[in-house]
């Protein structure tokens, strides 16, 4: 098969579409997927630079999510059949013509949803649902603050929270991104270059839940922003890994700090990817099937131009996901 391989670690120019060994035939409980499109994630950019090695046993090929068509199923798989249109959460290997995935990480592509666009869903859906809903239990009437509202995660979280009946505040670095967030359902729009989100959220009594991409850089201010019984869900460390918390402020408001990573979760069992995917299928997929929550795709880039696709996430104009078209 062909896959995107790395000519060493480095900038986007190390990505090359080339011959690569076929993945093994699917084992028990696994399926092989002929990939149509793959999502580009910030983790891929880090892995390309040599900062985020794949977990033991995962493919060395980049790619944490894909859409495509089931090509073959392994022993014991009853849920999926060759020809099914699916998208899947992966531990790696999505930037390739074929990938093998555990059956529990596969989701059907609802009728009417574009198969390419479906590649934009698994990572953001699993990350947002597992944090905002399964961990923090966001409810109607609560206020969710999303940092980086224009990101892949952010654009999805706005729609999910709005569908649940929550109010949404976002931070972003430009008016353009804030406008797009508003179209998706956000009502409190904060340009972090011009305004202090702690002060703005203070006017609304604080945030019940915060979905954070900045880690250390925002830790203290996030704690200051929490409402009573508020919950901070840290999913990104774009602002560093070590921060200080004023525990007095946290315990005074009975606050909670969650921090979770999707890729390192086990495939099955407690807190696994399969557990999250099952919840998505039950609760989120109907909202995707009826168009309440839609994939937000900034660009579909042919895989031969993978280097260009890796430059897009840091552009000020990029809102939502960047996809690689594999075939
Ligand atoms: N823990 C997990 O399991 C998990 C899974 C998936 C993703 N993630 C993480 O979640 C984050 C979002 O992922 P993604 O793929 O959606 O990223 P992305 O689309 O590449 O977006 C990153 C965003 O960060 C924003 N940003 C930069 N500086 C900021 C600041 N000071 N304050 C607020 N926002 C700022 C950028 O927007 P502006 O132009 O507005 O600055 C951009 O929209 C990343 O950190 C990623 O690593 C974690």
Mutation pick for ligand 1 pocket among 213, 240, 264, 295 (CB with most ligand atoms within 8 Å): 213
Q: Which residue's CA is the nearest one to ligand 1's atom 46?
A: 236
Asked if residue 151 and residue 96 are part of one domain, the reply reads: no
Cα 127 to ligand 1 centre (Å) = 12
The CA distance from 73 to 29, in Å, is 8
Q: Which residue's CA is the nearest one to ligand 1's atom 37?
A: 148
Cα angle value 280/285/289 (rounded, 5°): 170
Asked if residue 168 and residue 248 are part of one domain, the reply reads: yes
Residue 275 lies in a domain: no
Residue 272 lies in a domain: no
Residue 129 lies in a domain: no
The closest of 73, 97, 77 to 18, measured between CA atoms, is 97
Residue 212 lies in a domain: yes
Sign, Cα dihedral of 25, 28, 34, 40: negative
Ranges under pLDDT 50 in the chain: none
Asked if residue 78 and residue 141 are part of one domain, the reply reads: no
Mutation pick for ligand 1 pocket among 238, 296, 309, 311 (CB with most ligand atoms within 8 Å): 238
Mutation pick for ligand 1 pocket among 38, 39, 42 (CB with most ligand atoms within 8 Å): 42
Asked if residue 105 and residue 176 are part of one domain, the reply reads: no
* Whole-number pLDDT of residue 314: 87
147 Cα nearest atom in ligand 1: 33
154 Cα nearest atom in ligand 1: 16
Last residue of a domain, one of 201, 228, 259: 259
216 neighbors 241 (Cβ within 8 angstroms) = yes
Asked if residue 251 and residue 158 are part of one domain, the reply reads: yes
For residue 170, give its domain range.
136-259
Residue 265 lies in a domain: no
Asked if residue 115 and residue 52 are part of one domain, the reply reads: yes
Asked if residue 147 and residue 78 are part of one domain, the reply reads: no
Asked if residue 237 and residue 203 are part of one domain, the reply reads: yes
Cα 255 to ligand 1 centre (Å) = 23
Asked if residue 319 and residue 223 are part of one domain, the reply reads: no
Helices (H), 50-174: 122-128, 152-163
Cα 31 to ligand 1 centre (Å) = 30
**Tokens 């995107």 sit on residue:** 4
313 Cα nearest atom in ligand 1: 20
Residue 99 lies in a domain: yes
Domain count along the chain = 2
Which residues contact residue 73 at a Cβ distance below 8 angstroms, ignoring those fewer than 6 apart? Answer: 26, 30, 31, 32, 80, 81, 82, 103
Cα 148 to ligand 1 centre (Å) = 6
Residue 10 lies in a domain: yes
Cα 192 to ligand 1 centre (Å) = 14
CATH number of the domain where residue 107 is located: 3.90.180.10
The CA distance from 168 to 176, in Å, is 17
123 Cα nearest atom in ligand 1: 6
Asked if residue 171 and residue 222 are part of one domain, the reply reads: yes
CATH number of the domain where residue 147 is located: 3.40.50.720
Cα 8 to ligand 1 centre (Å) = 25
| Pocket of ligand 1, beta carbon within 6 A | 41-43, 123, 127, 147-148, 150-153, 171-174, 177, 192, 213-214, 235-236, 238, 260-262, 313, 316
69 neighbors 81 (Cβ within 8 angstroms) = no
Under DSSP, the state recorded for 96 is B
Asked if residue 152 and residue 197 are part of one domain, the reply reads: yes
Residue 157 lies in a domain: yes
pTM check: above 0.95: yes
Instruction: Encode 277-291: b = buried (16+ Cβ within 10 Å), e = exposed.
Output: bebbeeebbeebeee
Cα 285 to ligand 1 centre (Å) = 23
Cα 213 to ligand 1 centre (Å) = 5
Cα 128 to ligand 1 centre (Å) = 12
Which residues contact residue 118 at a Cβ distance below 8 angstroms, ignoring those fewer than 6 apart? Answer: 37, 67, 85, 87, 109, 295
Tokens of 153: 């995660």
C-alpha distance from residue 190 to each of 158, 170, 194 (Å): 14, 6, 8
Asked if residue 297 and residue 224 are part of one domain, the reply reads: no
């Amino acid at each position: 098969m062909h896959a995107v391989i790395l000519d060493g670690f480095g900038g986007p120019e190390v990505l090359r579409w080339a011959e690569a060994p076929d993945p093994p035939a699917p084992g028990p409980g696994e399926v092989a997927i002929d990939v149509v499109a793959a999502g580009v994630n910030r983790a891929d950019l880090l892995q390309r630079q040599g900062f985020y090695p794949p977990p033991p046993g995962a493919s060395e090929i980049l790619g944490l999510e894909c859409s495509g068509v089931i090509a073959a199923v392994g022993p014991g798989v009853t849920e999926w059949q060759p020809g099914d249109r699916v998208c899947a959460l992966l531990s790696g290997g999505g930037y390739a013509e074929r990938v093998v995935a555990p059956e529990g990480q596969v989701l059907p592509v609802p009728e009417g949803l574009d198969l390419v666009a479906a590649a934009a869903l698994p990572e953001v859906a699993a990350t947002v649902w597992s944090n905002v809903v399964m961990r923090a239990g966001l409810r109607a009437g609560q206020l969710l603050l999303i940092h980086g509202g224009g990101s892949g995660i952010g654009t999805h979280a706005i729609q999910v929270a709005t569908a649940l009946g929550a109010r949404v505040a976002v931070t972003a670095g430009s008016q353009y991104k804030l406008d797009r967030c508003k179209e998706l359902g956000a009502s409190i729009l904060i340009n972090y270059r011009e305004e202090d989100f702690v002060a703005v959220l203070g006017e609304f009594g604080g945030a019940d839940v915060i979905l954070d991409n900045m880690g250390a850089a925002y830790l203290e201010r996030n704690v200051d922003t929490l409402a009573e019984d508020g919950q901070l869900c840290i999913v990104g460390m774009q602002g560093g890994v070590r921060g200080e918390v004023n525990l007095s402020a946290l315990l005074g408001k009975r606050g909670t700090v969650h921090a979770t990573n999707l890729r390192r979760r086990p495939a099955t069992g407690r807190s696994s990817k399969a557990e999250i995917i099952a919840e998505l299928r039950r609760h989120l997929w109907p909202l995707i099937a009826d168009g309440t929550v839609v994939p937000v795709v900034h660009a579909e880039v042919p895989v031969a131009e993978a280097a260009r696709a890796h430059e897009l996430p840091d552009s000020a104009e990029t809102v939502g996901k960047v996809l690689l078209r594999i075939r």
